Amino acid sequence: MNPIDERENIEQLLPWYVNGTLSSEEQSLVSEWLAKDEELKQQEAWLRQLQQEAKALEATKQEQVPLDFAWQSFKRQLDSPAQEKQTTKVNWWASAGIAACLTLVVQLGWWQWQQTDPIELLSGDVTAAYQENHWLVQVQFSSEASMVDVSVALNSVDLQIISGPSALGLYHLATPKNSSQFPDTHSLEAWLQQQTTIEFFALLP
Amino acid sequence: MNSDSLLPDIAQGNERAMELFYRQHAQAVYGFVLKKLKDSVLATEVMNETMMEVWKKAHSFEGRSKERTWLFSMANFKAIDALRRQKDFAPEEDIDQGVEDHCPLSDAIAGSQNRAFVEQCLNRLKAAQRHIVYLTFYEGLAYSDIAEILSIPSGTVKTRMMHAKQKLKQCLASLFSDS
């Protein structure tokens, strides 16, 4: 390999030199070049910064999967091995459809009361729009709870559904931070704990 | 095969082993497919479909690749299937077009100190380039593993990373000079 091609090859290997996954042979080759080529050395430093920033970015913005609930949902599929895959899928979508209808009905009722713009509620990153002035909660409603139960519970306080259900049946709820009922997260938490219609909840940061 | 691998037990139908495996890897699989699908509901569904494949195919894992490479490779196929099921699925455009690398590296380095700029520039990359940056710098995978996961030659992984790097440098330098 001529020196120009070899340098290009080294340059291509740099990202994996930085993440530490090169073979020992490749690693020593790159190290040799870095010792004698200032521009490659600068690139290495830049890539290390990029790696650090990319990791920090992912760590802060990565959506967390609620593992317990995701596992329970998966386990239900595991426990019905006799079912054909297609059947499982149809049931899954049927449940999701029912859940979606439930949300829509609850949301429509709430919109009428709150006079909120439905377009805003249906927009993509809904939680972001509420983050500044609202406490946000992720919940799963009890499978025993009816639409009326959920509606009554939410209507009794200043809580509204802003998105959901996810594939795991999770919803995002929001309540204003200046609400008289929930002046802080403790009061909100206490209320959520008392609700029989709510099977699981987690306050979002 | 890794001596701590749970796959042999999963292959025997051990649900507890499956649960441990699920808890170890579900978040990573979700993060990976979410990058491709941009839809948390679909990503959750694909994550569970991938885990179901693990349950069904654990016996076929021979340890020729790393466990996580095998897992991500299945997740990649499931995500592509999910995208194909979408009505608006369009094949990825040619992402191997390079860009001229004419920005001073020092500016790009200075620019990269701003996390918001880095995020903005990463988002401007083509999806296929962004996946490689993600798998390299966040998942810490080797280029050969990335090639296996994405079913592309190792040379293509390196070329895409090279182009991603050039674009990022250019983008960061431009944002930095505008600020």
- Domains defined for chain B, CATH in brackets: 3-85 (1.10.1740.10), 93-178 (1.10.10.10)
Asked whether the whole model's pTM tops 0.80, one would answer no
Q: Average pLDDT, stretch B55-77?
A: 91
pLDDT tens for A59-105 read 777 667 778 888 888 888 888 654 333 333 434 444 454 345 434 54
Distance to chain A for B153, nearest Cα, Å: 14
The residue of chain B nearest to residue A12, with distances taken between CA atoms, is B158
Of A146-160, B20-34, B119-133, least confident by mean pLDDT is A146-160
Contact flag B22-A51 (C-beta cutoff 8 Å): no
Nearest C-alpha neighbor of A188 from the set A147, A136, A128, A141: A136
Beta-bridged to residue A176, according to DSSP, are: A134
Query: Hey, which residues 118-147 in chain B have their CB within 8 Å of chain A?
Result: 118-119, 122, 133-134, 136-138, 140-143, 145
Query: Above pLDDT 70, what percent of chain A?
Result: 69
Provide the 8-state DSSP code for B93: P
- Summarised one tens digit per residue, pLDDT across range A144-179 is 666 567 767 777 777 877 777 676 677 788 888 877
> Does any CB of chain B come closer than 8 Å to the CB of residue A47?
yes
Question: Measured over all CA atoms, what is the biggest interatomic distance in chain B, rounded to whole angstroms?
Answer: 60
Mean pLDDT, residues B104-111: 50
The SS3 of residue B172 is helix
Q: Which residues of A186-203 are buried (b: 16+ CB within 10 A; e: fewer)?
A: eebeebbeebebbebbee
What are the phi and psi torsion angles at B41 (to 5°)? -65, -50
Q: Residue A186: which pLDDT band, with cuts at 50, 70 and 90?
A: confident
